[in-house]
Structure 1
Amino acid sequence: MSYTRFAIYYVPPAGTLADFGASWLGCDIAGGCETSTFDLPGLSDITMTPRKYGFHGTLKPPFRLADGRTADDLTAAASKLASVLAPAICDGLELTRLGRFLALTPRGDLESLRRVAGACVKDLDGFRAPAGEVELERRRKSGLSARQDALLTRWGYPYVMDEFRFHMTLTGRLPKADIPVWTETVQRFLPGLPTPFVVDQIALCGEREDGRFELIHRYALAG
């Protein structure tokens, strides 16, 4: 399989949370396929944007391979990184409104999550092709702080390192009036959320030619 971009995600292991995410988005990132969704009017519309990425938490944002680098090289490097990284643990997950989006976010001490994500960004950066001017300007249009712009220039993405906030996206941008209704709806369908929430593996994922991301390989964090 040929991929246009790669990313390092947290993809929940098989279980009720992964099943919920696949049914909510209509996409099983682990299986690389579409799935049946909950029978809810309007659900496919509000999940159109996150559906292409699958149910996940980003650790290293999507990137194109740098010249001279191969997918096999990246696979080996991701495996090596995971072998020396310790798992991240926080108190649990909760449903959160992020602006006009809904997502699952961690609660409690998030330092270990930032450590894992920061290592993925930094240690695998040699595989990332530099962002082009068009991409940089597109991201700057969202209105970045000076710190976010510096991170964008250095790492190709503005919300990494100290600006990183782990989240598992459930919707696209919602009309303000619809947020309370969809918040209540998500709560009704959510399974019991993990307590504590443990990230003990990372997932190398790839973007197919059709724009959908799928799981390539999981790596246990064994440091």
Structure 2
Amino acid sequence: MRYAIYFTPPAHDPLTLAASQWLGRSAFSGEATDMPAVRGIGLHDIAYNTAIPRRSGFHATLKAPFRLASGITESMLLRHLMRFAGAHDPFELPLLEVGRLGNYYGLMAMRPCEQMRHLACSVVQEFDVFRAPLSDDELERCDPGDLSAPQFANLYRWGNAYVMDEYRFHMTLTGPMAQKDMPRFELALRDYFDPYLTKPVEVANLALFVEDEPGAPFLVHSLHPMGRVAARKIA
């Protein structure tokens, strides 16, 4: 079993529902969803190009998937995550937009968000003691030969190349795409998601996702509200 610490809006948030429909699966229920009818793109095209993020579910990575270290139990992880979340105040992200990261698309903030960067770095550091070291096979699957020197160092130190100064907040919406398909997918993604991106998204919880066995889809195990109880805004 592997665990991951992510951010995702609540299950019934309109953005979560829209993203789950786009990806074809809800990470909360684990159930398949009917993909949307999108002008200019067939359902088979959407299904093919969302296969990778569909398995992971709609999220932004804070602590990438990890196996528990020796002597660590799920209950220990849950208790620490609950305390950690309660010690960090909720905040709003800048407005999100559909953007391109290399050869795939996701939702990204229109401007840098120092609060999110700080939260992501804190999660990576705080929960590293709960993480078993990557195996040789896991390291090989990360394709370290394509990484920059800082990314390579992050991979070996933290189990994820894209942390600390390399961290970029994003919520993945496609897998790697052929260059020829990108223009029409970008247009379709903007048409579909822009109505849900008119107000800031609140980061008010940390989500624990689980992968029951290798290759299984990730599911939301639990949401952990941020901030002191009296200060929390209940969605």
Instruction: Calculate the TM-score normalised by the size of structure 1.
Output: 0.93
Q: Supply the RMSD in Å over aligned alpha carbons.
A: 1.5
User: What amino acid does structure 1 have at the position aligned with 2:141?
Assistant: R
Whole-angstrom CA distance in 2 between matches of 1:95 and 1:217: 27
> In structure 2, what is the equivalent of residue 220 of structure 1?
225
> In structure 1, what is the equivalent of residue 9 of structure 2?
12
User: What amino acid does structure 2 have at the position aligned with 1:193?
Assistant: L
Q: Which segment is superposed worse, 129-138 or 11-20? A: 129-138
Answer whether contact 2:205 2:224 (CA < 8 A) is retained: yes
Q: Which segment is superposed worse, 169-178 or 12-21? A: 12-21
Answer whether contact 1:106 1:197 (CA < 8 A) is retained: no
Larger strand proportion, structure 1 or 2?
Answer: 1
Change (3 A) 1:47 1:71: same
> In structure 2, what is the equivalent of residue 82 of structure 1?
85
> In structure 1, what is the equivalent of residue 36 of structure 2?
38
Whole-angstrom CA distance in 1 between matches of 2:198 and 2:119: 19
Structure 1 consecutive aligned stretches of length 4 or more whose deviation exceeds 4 Å: none
Superposed CA deviations along residues 92-111 of structure 1, whole A, max 9, x for unmatched, are: 10100111101001122311
The CA deviation at 1:53 is: 0.4
Answer whether contact 2:144 2:152 (CA < 8 A) is retained: no
> In structure 1, what is the equivalent of residue 118 of structure 2?
115
Whole-angstrom CA distance in 1 between matches of 2:222 and 2:198: 23
User: What amino acid does structure 1 have at the position aligned with 2:158?
Assistant: W
How many pairs were matched up?
220
Q: Which segment is superposed worse, 182-191 or 166-175? A: 182-191
Answer whether contact 1:23 1:38 (CA < 8 A) is retained: yes
* Partner SS state of residue 28, structure 2: coil
User: What amino acid does structure 2 have at the position aligned with 1:60?
Assistant: K
The percent of aligned pairs where both chains have the same amino acid is: 38
User: What amino acid does structure 2 have at the position aligned with 1:192?
Assistant: Y
Answer whether contact 1:92 1:193 (CA < 8 A) is retained: yes
Whole-angstrom CA distance in 2 between matches of 1:140 and 1:22: 29
The CA deviation at 1:189 is: 1.5
The CA deviation at 1:186 is: 1.1
User: What amino acid does structure 2 have at the position aligned with 1:115?
Assistant: H
User: What amino acid does structure 2 have at the position aligned with 1:213?
Assistant: F
Superposed CA deviations along residues 102-157 of structure 1, whole A, max 9, x for unmatched, are: 10011223110011111111111111000122222332445111111111111111
Unaligned runs of 5+ in 1: none
Unaligned runs of 5+ in 2: 229-235
